Amino acid sequence: MKLTWYGHSAFRVDAGGASILIDPFLSGNPSWGKGWEGPAEGITHLLLTHGHDDHLGDSAEILKKTGAMLVANFEICSYLVGQGASGERINPGNHGGTVDCGGFTVTFVNAQHSSSTAGPNGSNTYLGNPAGLILHFPEEKTLYHMGDTDIFGDMALIEELHQPDIGLVPVGDRFTMGGAVAALACQRYFNFEKVVPCHFATFPLLDPTAQKFVDGLAGGKTEVLLPKVGEAFEV
The tens digit of pLDDT for each residue in 37-85 reads 999 999 999 999 999 999 999 999 999 999 999 999 999 999 999 999 9
∠ Cα 181 197 164 (to 5°): 85
Q: Which residues does the chain have with pLDDT short of 70?
A: none
Task: Name which of 206, 205, 204, 186 is nearest 196 in CA terms.
Answer: 186
Say how far apart CA 161 and CA 170 lie, in whole Å.
21
Say how far apart CA 86 and CA 63 lie, in whole Å.
8
Domains and CATH numbers, the chain: 2-228 (3.60.15.10)
pLDDT at position 119 is 86
Q: Which amino acid is at 216?
A: G
Q: What is the CA radius of gyration of the chain?
A: 16
3-class DSSP assignment, residue 155? helix
